[in-house]
Amino acid sequence: MKTVDARGLSCPEPVMLTEEAVKSGERPVRVLVSEPHQKMNVEKYAKDHNISFTTEETEDGFAVVIS
């Protein structure tokens, strides 16, 4: 599983890093973000590209796992 640590980064960096990881072809991709709006943006990216995902809350933010 590839992990993208986007905690503390400003938008659109989390989405850009997510896109880069998804395009690499390595799946699943676990994207770590620290803010709710970053989580929503990564989830929106996955929805817009018809990619399934799950989201979990972590002690320091959120983890969006893209399948």
Per-residue pLDDT of the chain (67 residues; tens, 9 = 90+): 999 999 999 989 999 999 999 999 888 999 999 999 999 999 999 999 999 999 999 999 999 999 9
Among candidates 57, 66, 54, which has minimal Cα distance to 24? 66
- Largest Cα separation within the chain, whole Å, is 28
Other CB atoms within 10 A of residue 10 CB: 9
Given this model, what pLDDT does residue 26 score? 86
Given this model, what pLDDT does residue 17 score? 97
Other CB atoms within 10 A of residue 22 CB: 20
pTM: 0.93
